[in-house]
Amino acid sequence: MSESVTLTINGQKYSAEKGKTVLQVAADNGIKIPTLCHHEEIEPYGACRLCIVEITRGTRNRIVTSCLYPVEEGLVVQTDSPRVVRNRKMLLDLLLARCSENKVIKGLAAEYGIEKPSFREEYREKHDCIVCGLCVRACEQVVGVSAISLVNRGIHKEPKPPYLERAKACIGCGSCFYVCPTNAIQMEDKNGIRRIDRWKVEFKLKKCSKCGIEWAPVAQLEYIRKKWDLPAGFFDICPNCK
């Protein structure tokens, strides 16, 4: 049996499994902490910082990211203290200046009462990507393909295919599209073709030999077939018809 610890979140005592993070425990208990760069299936990264909380240990208070902070006995957590809210607002202010026309960011900022960034108009940028790295991490950790990576550093950092060319290793699975928290990745299935423009890729979709629906990229199915050593023709029929 795993060890358990008792911690306090927003004045309420909770028992939690040792090894879990504050964010997991909060979620388990229905306490909402905002986050953009976190996904349960992917290792925590701590880039967007929105999940910051204030912790008290002894007489010391500090701000930590709940997606990375492991719970410990006697830990006191505040998820919405004035200091947390002040910092979270500034994060959204900064994100809004970067993604001034992105719906997700605008919505989240509005939740915290921010309608426009505190910075000069001429500083505003129109990115959709917040460089949280979820697409890259999903591609590496979940799919196991690493078709894209974070390229450059600092303000020039962004997810890109190698040499900024077509992502040759991409199998078109669309994981990046599904995990992207700000809809910065567009994916379109049309006329038997899947397109992900951000990675400059196009894939032929497989038609189900029974119902005729175009259900997945051929490249992805081939990748899975080879990985699991499945017989040829295994994916001729879509899951719905099986």
Tokens of 145: 């393909």
Q: Measured from the CB of residue 46, what is the shortest distance to another protein in angstroms?
A: 5
Q: How far is the CB of 166 from another protein (least distance, A)?
A: 12
Paired tokens of 140:
């590496």
Name the token pair of 227: 């990985």
119 versus 193: smaller Cβ distance to another protein? 119
The nearest distance, CB 122 to another protein, in angstroms, is 9
Least Å distance, CB 168 to another protein, is 7
Q: Which residues bind another protein (CB under 8 A)?
A: 45-49, 52, 63-65, 68-70, 83, 86-87, 90-91, 94-95, 97-98, 118-120, 123, 130-131, 133, 140, 145-157, 161-163, 167-169
Of 91 and 221, CB closest to another protein: 91
Closer residue to another protein (CB): 152 or 191: 152
Q: Please say which residue, 45 or 112, places its beta carbon nearer to another protein.
A: 45
Cβ atoms of 25 and 32 closer than 8 Å: no
The nearest distance, CB 225 to another protein, in angstroms, is 21
Beta carbon nearer to another protein, 145 or 193: 145
- Which CB atom, from 139 or from 238, has the smaller least distance to another protein? 139
Query: Residue 154's CB: how many other CB atoms inside 10 A?
Result: 5
Q: Are 236 and 209 in contact (CB under 8 A)?
A: yes
Measured CA to CA in angstroms, residue 237 lies from 107, 221, 224, 225, 232 at distances of 41, 11, 15, 13, 12
Nearer of residues 156 and 190 to another protein, judged by Cβ: 156
Q: How far is the CB of 98 from another protein (least distance, A)?
A: 6
How far apart are alpha carbons 90 and 106 in whole angstroms?
13
